[in-house]
Amino acid sequence: MLIVGGLVLLTGSLHLIPALGKSLEQLAKWLGAFQGIIGIIAIIVGILAIASLAGIVLIILGLILAVSILSALPGIGKSIAKFVKFLGAFQTIIGIIALIFGILELL
């Protein structure tokens, strides 16, 4: 989930990677169509792994990706949207961190 979410967050920056950039950009754009679903799954997996740093990164990543779904929740939707708007300023950094944690989890 960390790798998939990280790729979606880095959609606008992946073309800068030599050799793999264009292919990764196309994959990230395709995955972007499922952004809300990926976000909800990332939140759920993050809650299950909350004791680890990767779980916290997953929750933050999931909030950013699922903001369109979560903002529709009555009562807390507006608060979540404000928080995610703040986090959106760090989207590239969070995407890089998610990719690093995802690659480290594979090793």
Sign of CA dihedral 93, 99, 105, 107: negative
pLDDT profile of the chain (107 residues), mean per 10: 89 79 85 90 93 92 88 85 87 91 91
In 3-state terms, what secondary structure has residue 34? Answer: coil
Q: What does the alpha-carbon distance between residue 55 and residue 45 come to, in Å, rounded to a whole number?
A: 7
Q: How is the chain split into domains, by residue range?
A: 2-11+34-106
DSSP for residue 9 = H
pLDDT at 43: 93
**Residues 87, 66: contact at Cβ < 8 Å?**
no
pTM score, whole prediction: 0.85
